[in-house]
A and B are shown apart, each in its own frame.
Chain A
Amino acid sequence: MTTEDDEDQTRGLDDECAVEALLAEAGFTDDPHLRQVLLQLRELRDSDVPEPSAELALLLAESRTANVLPLEPGKPRTRKRIVLTTLAVAASFGVAGGAAAGNEDLRRGAEGGISAVVEWFSPPVPAAPAPAVPAAPRPGPAVVSVPAAETPATAPPLKPLPTLSPLPESASEPPAAEPGEGRHIPSEAPGASSGGPTETPRDDAGQAGRGGADATAGGGAAPRQADRAATPAPDAGQGRPGSKGNGDRQDVPVPLPAPKARPGQTR
C-alpha cells in the first residue's frame, strides 16, 4: 500500500467518525441515507494546499526567514552594549567635570596657571610710577640742587634718568603742582637747580651738600654741568677756580630762563 492509500484510509476513518458524532448529536444515527449525504459533504474538503499568491508568498518567505533570526541573538546585544558604553563614558565625564568645578584647590590652581600664561603672553608694562614721581619733587630740587653739584661722583650710577635732563623746562612744571615734596626732587630735576641756587643762601651749603648727595642719588649730575656751561663766565674768571663748591655758588646768582620756559612748555 502506498502512502496515498494510507492517507485516504485514515481520512475516510476520520470522516466516518465525524459524521457518526454529528448524527449522534442530532439523534439520527439510524438513517443511512443521511449518513451517506454527510459523507459526501465531508468529501468536499480539499487536502491540497492552494498555491499562494505573490504577496502571500512574500509573507510566507519572510516568516520562514524569521526562524533563522533566533540563531543570531548577538547582534542586538552588541548594539545595546555600545549604547551602554557610550552612556557610561558620558556619565563619567560629567561626574569628573562636576567634581573639578566643586574643588577650590583645583580652581585656584587653574586660575594661577591661566594668569601665568596671560602674563607671559602680555607685553611688559612700562614703569608708570617713574614719570609721576619726578614731577612731584621738582620744587624741592630747586632748593637742593646747589649742593648736589658738590657730589658729582655719586651721580654716575644713576645715568638712566639723564634722559629727562634734556628737557629742563619740563621739570619746572612740577614745583607748582607739589611744592611740599622737596626732598624727592633732586632725583630728576636738573633744570630745577637752575632756579634754586638763586634763592639758596651760602650758609646752607652744608645742608645743600646733603641735599646734593641726595640729588646725586637721584641721578641729576649731568644736567648740573650743563647749567654750569650756561652760567656766565665772569664769575668763573673772578676767582676760586680751585674750589668746587665756591665755583658752584658763584654760578648760582646767574638767573636762568627756566621760569620763563614753564608756561611755554605747559602750553
Chain B
Amino acid sequence: MQRTNHEAERSALMDDSSFCAAYRQFSPGVLSYLRARGVEDPEGLTQEVFLALFPQLHEVHGGMKGVKSLVFSIAHARYVDEHRRRLNAPRTTDYDPAEDPRCSSSAEDQLLAVESSGNVKALLNDLQQDQQEVIALRIVADLSVETTADIMGKTPGAVKQLQRRALSRLRKLCTSMREDLS
C-alpha cells in the first residue's frame, strides 16, 4: 500500500517535471502557430496556453505525444476565442506605413514580397478559415492528420480533404500572383 502510494507520488512528480520539458519542446511551435494565425499578442497567449496546461497535466495520457495534442488543443481554443473577440470588437492597430494600402509598391518590392516569408501570411489569409487552420496545424505546428482532426473536431478524412483543397487553393494563388507580376 505504502509502496503504491509512493509510486503514485513519483508518477505525479514526473508529470510535474514534464511540464518543463513540455514548455521547452512545444512553446516554440505554439508561438509560431499563434503568429501564423495572426494573433495580436502571440507571446502572451502562449503563456496563457501553458498556464492552462499545468493543472491538466496530471490527467494526460500518452506521454509527450498526448501532451503535445493537449497543448495545441488549448492553443487552438485560445485562438478561436481571440478570433471571435476580434470579430465582435473593432480592430485597433498601430499605423505602419509599409502596410498602408494607399501606398503603391514597386515591381521589385512585389517580387521580393512574393519570395519573402512575410507574404506567405497574405497567401494563407486568402484561404478559408478551416483550410487556414489545417495548413497551420499541419505545417507550422507539425501535427499529424489524426491529431489535427482531434483538435478541430473532425474526422481524418475531412482533414485530408480540407488539406487538399487548401493546397490546391494555394497553388492557384501562387500561379495568379506570378502571372500578375509578369
Interface string of A133-164 (1 = CB under 8 A from B): 00000000000000000000000000000000
Q: A37-B170, A70-B13 are in contact. Are A49 and B23 (CB under 8 A)?
A: yes
Q: A42-B139, A66-B16, A80-B2 are in contact. Are A34 and B167 (CB under 8 A)?
A: yes
B47 interface hit (Cβ, 8 Å): yes
The answer to whether A60 and B20 touch across the interface, beta carbons within 8 angstroms, is yes
- Give the interface segment out of B25-33, B61-69, B72-80, B92-100: B25-33
Give bound CA distance, A63 to B135, whole Å.
34
Q: Which residues from 20 to 59 on chain B have a C-beta closer than 8 Å to any C-beta of chain A? A: 20, 23-24, 27-29, 31-32, 35-36, 43-44, 46-47, 50-51, 54
A sample of 6 cross-chain residue pairs with beta-carbon separation below 8 angstroms, ordered by A number, consists of A26-B167, A28-B168, A38-B170, A44-B140, A45-B28, A45-B140
B interface: dominant SS: helix
A interface: dominant SS: helix
A41 cross-chain contacts in B, Cβ below 8 A: 36, 117, 120, 124, 135, 139-140
* A164: min CB distance to chain B, Å: 84
The answer to whether A60 and B19 touch across the interface, beta carbons within 8 angstroms, is yes
The answer to whether B51 and A55 touch across the interface, beta carbons within 8 angstroms, is yes
The answer to whether A49 and B117 touch across the interface, beta carbons within 8 angstroms, is no
Q: Which residue in B10, B16, B27 is a CB contact (below 8 Å) of A63?
A: B16
Q: Which residues from 102 to 144 on chain B have a C-beta closer than 8 Å to any C-beta of chain A? A: 116-117, 120-121, 123-124, 135, 138-140, 142
- The chain A residue sitting closest to B49, CB to CB, is A56
The answer to whether B19 and A63 touch across the interface, beta carbons within 8 angstroms, is yes
- The chain A residue sitting closest to B121, CB to CB, is A44
Interface string of A19-34 (1 = CB under 8 A from B): 1001101111001011
A52 interface hit (Cβ, 8 Å): yes
* A127: min CB distance to chain B, Å: 72
Q: Which residue in B9, B27, B120, B164 is a CB contact (below 8 Å) of A49?
A: B27
List the 6 closest pairs (A to B, CB-CB), nearest first. A66-B16, A63-B19, A26-B167, A53-B47, A40-B120, A45-B32
Give bound CA distance, A20 to B35, whole Å.
24
B163 cross-chain contacts in A, Cβ below 8 A: 22, 25-26
B139 cross-chain contacts in A, Cβ below 8 A: 18-19, 22, 38, 41-42
A37 cross-chain contacts in B, Cβ below 8 A: 120, 123, 170, 174
* A212: min CB distance to chain B, Å: 95
